[in-house]
Chains A and B, each alone.
Chain A
Amino acid sequence: MSMNNQGRPSGAGEAFPASIATISGDRGLDHEESLIFELDHGAVGVDLPDVKVGDDRLGGLRRKGKVGLPGLSEPEVIRHYVRLSRMNYAIDSGLYPLGSCTMKHNPRLNEKMARLPGFGDLHPLAPQSTTQGALELISQLMNWLTGLTGMPAVAMSPKAGAHGELCGLLAIRAAIAARGEDRKRILVPESAHGTNPATAAFAGFTVDEVPAKPNGHVDADALKAKLGPDVAAIMLTNPNTCGLFEGEVIEIAKAVHEAGAYFYCDGANFNAIAGKVRPGDLGIDAMHINLHKTFSTPHGGGGPGAGPVVLSERLAAYAPIPLLVADGKGLRLIEDMAAAPDGAKPFGRMCAFHGQMGMFTRALTYMLSHGRDGVRQASEDAVLSANYILASLKDVMSAPFGDGPCMHEALFDDSFLDGTGVTTLDFAKAMIDEGYHPMTMYFPLVVHGAMLIEPTESESKASLDRFIHVLHTLATEARAKKTERFAGAPHLAPRRRLDETAAARKPVLRWKPDPLKQAAE
C-alpha cells in the first residue's frame, strides 16, 4: 500500500466484501431513509410569529384535535428529500427508453422562464388588464399548435393527455347532439393506450375493439366494416403504439366521415412527426398533444402534464370555455358560457381557470428554442435513433413486424427468449443492474411479451452504441441460457423486486402512529 507524505494511505486498498453488512445500514452514497413521520422530534422548519386568534369569526368550527404532522428543521427536511431523490432514475442521469412515454431532455431554460414572476406568480383571476402578457403567451402557443398540426382551432384547458381525450370526445358528443343524432359506439384499436377506452366509457360511449393486422397496423377493412349509423367516432393513435405510421389513415378518415362519424387521434406519438406531417392533412377532427411528451415539459415523477386539443372546422365551435378572443382592447378570456361569441357553442368546462399555464410557458420556450427547423430535426433524429436500435438489435432480439422501418419506437416481442426461462420482466429488470431504466414492457397488448424502446432525439450516437451493446449482450447471453444475470434481477438497485401482490392484498396506503407510543403520550 502506498502512503502520501502525511502517512495517510493513498492507494486504492482492498475491495470491501459485498457480503459484510455495514454498521449503519447505509452503503457509501446509498442511504436508507425513514419516513418523514418517523423523524419527528417537535422541531419546526419555518419561522412564523405566534399570533392568537379568537373564535368569534370561526363559526364554531375551530379545529379540536391536532393534525398529527411531524416537526423537523429545514436542514433535516432538505436532507430527507435529497436522500429520497438519490433512489430515483431520471433522464438527466441516463437513457430512459420508455416507449410511448417520450423521456426526452428537459431544457432548464424552460424551468427558468416558467418561474419568471410575471408567469409563476400570476393569479388566474387577476384583472385581465394585468395579465395581457400571459394571454399573449397562450395565443402564441395556440399559433404554434395549430401551425404544426394544420388544424384551425385548439382548446387549451385540458390538464393531461387523458383529459384532452375527454375534451375531444365531449366536443364530438356535442357535435353529434347538435345534429340531432344519437351515436353511442366508439371504435378503438386493440393496440390503443388504456386511456382511450377508459375515456370513451367516461364520456358515456360504448367501446368496440378493432383488431390489428399481423403487420402491426390497424385492420382498416375491419374498421370500415364496423362503421355504421351508431358509430360516433374512432380513436386512432398515429403513429400507433407499435411504433408504426398508419399509412391508410387518409382512406380511414374518408370512410369515417362518410359514415357521419368523427376521427379522434391520440397524439401521444406526435413527437415522431412534428414538423414533418400535419395531422390536419390526414383528415383528423381532434387530437390531444401531450406537452409533457412532444414539447418536453418535465414528467416530474408522474405529472403535471398538459393536453391541449386541436380541433377541425367541424368541431371547433364546441370547444369548452374559457375561450381566448382578441378585441379592440387586447386579448380577453371568455369564461362564461352565455357570453360565448356568435357561432361558438361550448360543451362546458374541463377545469377551474385556464389550463396548465406553467406547462404552456415551458412548451413555448421549447418551441421558440427549437424553431420549426429544430422541431423537424428532433422528429427526424427520434425516428433515426429508433431505427438504428432496431437495425442493431434485430439479429438477436425478435422484431415482430419484419424488416420495415419503424417510427420513433422500436418494438420487440419475447419470442427470442423462448425456451430460455427468461421473461420480458427478467430481461427488463436486468437492464436496471446495467444502469438503465427498462423499456416499456407488456405494451402494446397486441404483441406477446412486448418491449417498446423509445430512445428519443436526446441521445448521442455513443450513448446509443453503449445501450445497444448492453442489450445485444444481454440478449445473446439469454439465448445461450446464461441466465444468472436475469434470475431475481435487479441485484444492484436501491431495492430488489418488490412484492406487489402483498401490497394489493393488504393495502397499507399511509403511515400510522405507533399505537403504543401514542398511548404513552
Chain B
Amino acid sequence: MRYLPLTTEDRRAMLAKIGAPDVDALFRDVPKSALAPLSVFDLPDTQGELEVERALSKLAARNVAAGAAPFFCGAGAYKHHVPSAVDHLIQRSEFLTSYTPYQPEIAQGTLQYLFEFQTQVALLTGMDVANASLYDGSTATAEAVLMAQRITKRGKTILSGGLHPHYAETVETVASLAGVVSRAPVTPGSAEDIIALIDEETACVVVQSPDVFGLIRNLRPIADAAHAKGALLIAVVTEIVSLGLLEPPGAQGADIVAAEGQSIGNGLNFGGPYVGLFATREKFLRQMPGRLCGETVDAEGRRGYVLTLSTREQHIRREKATSNICTNSGLCCLAFTIHLSLLGEEGLTRLARINHAKASALAGKLAALPGVELVTDAFFNEFTIKLPKPAAPVVEALAAKGVIAGVPVSRLLPRGFDNLLILAATETNTDDDFAALIDALKGVI
C-alpha cells in the first residue's frame, strides 16, 4: 500500500523489540468476539491511483458543474471567480498539513493569517472584533443566538421571515433547547413588521440582509427597536461580497454579525466546507464562541501571535465553555484572506459593483418577459421573480436544456411560494448566459 512506509521486515523487527508474537497481541484488550476478520467487511480491496482517479472522475462527470452551463443559483452559496494564486497557496504543505496552532513558536504562519483574517472580517462587517471562524454561516447564526441568550439572560429569539430557511432550521434545532424561537411571517420582496414582535423577553432578533429573496433590508430601525427593549440585533449576511457595495451591519447598529464567507476564496463544493464569519462588539468579547488569535511578544520581545482567551473554550472550560467547537474552518479562512488581499479595497469595490450591475441587467431582462414579475426591487446580486407557473418544474425543464436557472423557493419553503424563483448573477455570468436563460425560459413559460 503506497501510503504505508513499514515493510514486512520492519514490522517483524518492531514486534521483536516490543516482545509481542504478532500484531493481534497488541489488541489483547479487545474482547475476542469483537475482533473481526477481514472477511466481515463487505468492502473493496486496495486500488492504485489510476483506478481510484478513474472511479471518482466517473462520478464527477455525472454532475453539471456551475462553470459548465449558464448558471444562476445562489440562495446562500455563490459562484465567483477565485484567482489562481489562492488555491495554489492554500495547498502549500505548511498550511494544508499543519494542525491547530497550539505550539505558537512553530505555527506563526497560521496564527498571523488568522490575525489578518480577524481584522478583515471586522473591517468588512464594521464590527470591533471577529473570531478565527466557525463552520459556516448557518452554524455561526446559531452560535450568535446562543451568545445573545447568554448576554441577555433571556430565552426568546425572533427570526426574520427573510432568513434563509436552512439557517432558521439550524437555529431552531439548537436554540429551542433552552428557549423559544419564533419565525416572523415570510413576505418575499418586502420587509415584515418584525419590530412589532420585539418585547421585554426577547433576547435577539435575527435579520438577514440581503435576505434569502435578495432584498436589501434596512437594519437601523430594527436595531434601535431591539435596543430599546434590551434585545440584541444579529445581522446575517450570506453573500459577503455585498459588503463591498452596501453599508455594513456594524454601521447599522448590529450587535453580532454572523456571515457566510464562501463567496470569497472558496468554491461551491456542493455545500461545504465553507467558512463562518463571526464578529461582534468589544464589550461582548468574552461571550464569543470559537478561537481567537491575539498579538503578543516572545521572550526576545519580537511581535508574535497566539491563540488567546481560551478560558472560554471547551478544552479548558469543558461543560462551562461558550461553545463546544474545536476544529473550525482554518484553511477556508486562509483562502478567504488571500482572495481578499488580492482584491484589496479597489478590487472588492469593483467586484461588488460588477455583481450588482450584472444582476440589475438580468432583472431588467426577466421583468420584460410576459407573465414574469420582479418581486425584489432593492437587491445586490440576487433577486426573486414570480413566474406564471410553478418554478421547480421550470427549473428542471431548463436543466434539461442545459441552463441552471436558479433556486425555486419551493426547495427551501415547500409550501405557499411555488411560483417564486431566486436567481443570482455574478461577475462570472456573460451576456451569452443571459441570452441562453431568456431563450430557454421563453420556451417553457
Contacts and interface: CB of A to CB of B under 8 A. Distances in A.
B112 interface: yes
Interface stretch (B222-230, B348-356, B436-444): B348-356
Contacts of A459: 5
Contact of A281 (B27, B33, B106, B323): B33
Contacts of A67: 123-124, 243-244, 248, 345, 348-349
Nearest to A106: B97
Interface stretch (B153-161, B199-207, B328-336): B328-336
A476 interface: no
A300 B125 CA distance: 25
Contact of A63 (B68, B90, B245): B245
Contacts of A245: 27, 29-30
Given A116-B57, A348-B172, A502-B297, A134 B63 contact: yes
Contacts of B19: 391
B180 interface: no
B434 interface: no
B96 A147 contact: no
A257 interface: no
A13 interface: no
B83 interface: yes
B167 A495 contact: no
Contacts of A57: 356, 360, 363, 377-379
A302 B23 contact: no
A60 B218 contact: yes
Interface string A140-155: 0001100110100000
B56 interface: yes
A404 B28 CA distance: 9
Contacts of A50: 350
Interface residues of A, number: 209
B23 A383 contact: yes
Given A74-B342, A354-B271, A301 B14 contact: no
Interface string B135-153: 1111100000010000000
B135 A304 contact: yes
Given A68-B123, A301-B110, A130 B63 contact: yes
B193 interface: no
B123 to A, nearest CB: 5
Contact of B327 (A72, A161, A194): A161
B246 A96 contact: no
B365 interface: no
Interface in B275-306: 275, 285, 291-300, 302, 304-306
A162 B107 contact: no
A460 B4 CA distance: 8
Contact of A349 (B113, B135, B169): B169
A118 B338 contact: no
A222 interface: no
A353 B77 contact: yes
B60 A119 contact: yes
B344 A70 contact: yes
B137 A201 contact: no
Contacts of A46: 83, 342-343, 347, 351
B174 to A, nearest CB: 7
A191 interface: no
Contact of B41 (A85, A88, A147): A147
A348 B11 CA distance: 47
A119 B58 CA distance: 11
B41 A301 contact: no
A278 B40 contact: yes
A507 B268 contact: no
A118 B61 contact: yes
A88 B107 contact: yes
Interface stretch (A2-10, A202-210, A223-231, A308-316): A202-210
A123 B170 contact: no
A466 interface: no
A68 B142 CA distance: 29
A376 to B, nearest CB: 6
- Pick from A74, A282, A405 the residue with the most CB of B within 10 Å: A405
B38 interface: yes
A115 interface: yes
A506 to B, nearest CB: 9
A58 B15 CA distance: 71
Interface string A225-259: 00000000000000000001111011000000000
Interface in A282-332: 282, 290, 292, 298-306, 320-321
A409 interface: no
B270 A387 contact: no
A264 B215 CA distance: 43
A368 B271 contact: no
Interface in B242-274: 243-248, 251-252, 260, 267-273
A127 interface: yes
Contact of A200 (B28, B295, B319): B319
Nearest to A190: B318
B431 interface: no
A109 B53 contact: yes
Contacts of B396: 127, 129
A494 B108 contact: yes
A121 B19 CA distance: 52
B139 A85 contact: no
Interface in B35-65: 35-36, 38, 40-47, 49, 51-53, 55-65
Nearest to B26: A405
B56 A162 contact: no
Given A207-B319, A374-B4, 18 more contacts: A48-B347, A57-B377, A87-B108, A92-B94, A118-B60, A122-B268, A132-B63, A133-B61, A202-B324, A247-B30, A276-B35, A281-B36, A290-B327, A303-B327, A369-B3, A371-B47, A391-B17, A498-B105
Pairs of residues from A and B, 4 with the lowest C-beta to C-beta distance, nearest first: A118-B60, A353-B271, A300-B331, A133-B62
21 contacts: A67-B348, A69-B343, A74-B342, A87-B94, A89-B103, A93-B94, A112-B53, A121-B68, A121-B268, A127-B395, A202-B174, A273-B27, A303-B328, A304-B328, A351-B135, A356-B273, A370-B3, A461-B13, A498-B306, A503-B306, A507-B294
